[in-house]
A = this chain, B = another copy of it.
Amino acid sequence: MINVGIIGYGYWGPNLVRNFAELAGCKVVAIADLDPEKLALAQRRFPAARTTTDVNELIADPSIDAVVIATPVRSHFKLGMAALKADKHVWLEKPMTETAEQARQLVEEADRRGKTLHVDHTFVYTGAVRKMGEIIARGDLGKILYYDSVRVNLGLFQHDVNVISDLAVHDFSILEYLLKEHPVAVSAAGINHFPNTPENLAYITLFYDSSIIAHVSVNWLAPVKVRQLLVGGSSKMMIYDDLQNSEKLKVYDKGVSFTDDPKKIHEMRVGYRTGDMWAPTIDGSEALRIGGQHFLDCIQNKKTSITDGRLGLKVVEIIEAATASMQNKGKTVEIKQLEMAS
């Protein structure tokens, strides 16, 4: 039985408490939040858990094996490091930290102590993304040519993070999971339409050493909600539309062939192929449930999490570089490739 302590009972915290409370193999023993009203609410819903406004007390509690951190991102590094130093396994909400340097230090500390460090990039655990991963791993798409994602809607302005940290972060984690390749550079453009607010609209292009190019369009000001993701390959292409009630994932047997024949130099040298479309059944399990089980499995069986600190760090590297580019009207910014004692 893994004893879990959860810090932060704000927007996402209640989902985490409910999730770990319902998972077999663990027990929510303590909940911490600075706001006594929120703690009172937590106490009513989960009477078996202890509540406290003192996070240090929770982190120091020797009966706790794993600490789940769902606070604003600016406190992730400090709390995560304290928990690791208290020899806890750590679950961090996304994005992992404010800076890549902070993320690097957390990874190294977790490595040193042999603790599980898991970042909650929930989308990676959806049935659709896992199915996309299988399809790519089987080589069905041929050579991957591009990734194109649109995540827009009206009504979720944040005041402390920009739209890249809020929405594009999902794509950065999906990209790392699907492609197993880190981008080398980024060019991003964005705008904040209101003074002293973070950017509410951004377009990010990621460059790779291979043939791949990735693009992510995010917007808090769109009249309709869109969650659409396209992966193009030389043999097949697939579209994941998260807002469909059924057939969320469609695989198109469409592709291109190319001839280098010099005689055709002035003609069309690219040919098309159009075949069937196929919408595989998707596992509809709640992604948070799957992620939670995976976290417990990693702790118990000393596995590395699919969305471990290294993946979380790579995502923060992309956010940092993209934000820097965005603040320079699209100036190309290189992304450092992680070098770390393994």
Contact = CB atoms under 8 A, between A and B. Distances in A.
Interface of A: 145-146, 148, 150, 154-155, 157, 159, 185, 187, 189-191, 193-197, 200-201, 203, 205, 207, 211, 213, 215, 217, 219, 221-225, 230, 232, 234, 237-239, 243, 245-247, 252, 254, 256, 258, 260, 265-270, 272, 274-281, 325, 328-332
Nearest to A212: B191
A274 B281 contact: yes
A226 to B, nearest CB: 10
Contacts of A150: 150
Contact of A329 (B146, B157, B243, B332): B332
A275 to B, nearest CB: 5
Contact of A230 (B146, B205, B223, B272): B223
A269 B280 CA distance: 27
Number of copies: 4
Contacts of A270: 157, 194, 197, 200
Contacts of A331: 187, 330-332
A8 to B, nearest CB: 17
Contacts of A245: 225, 243
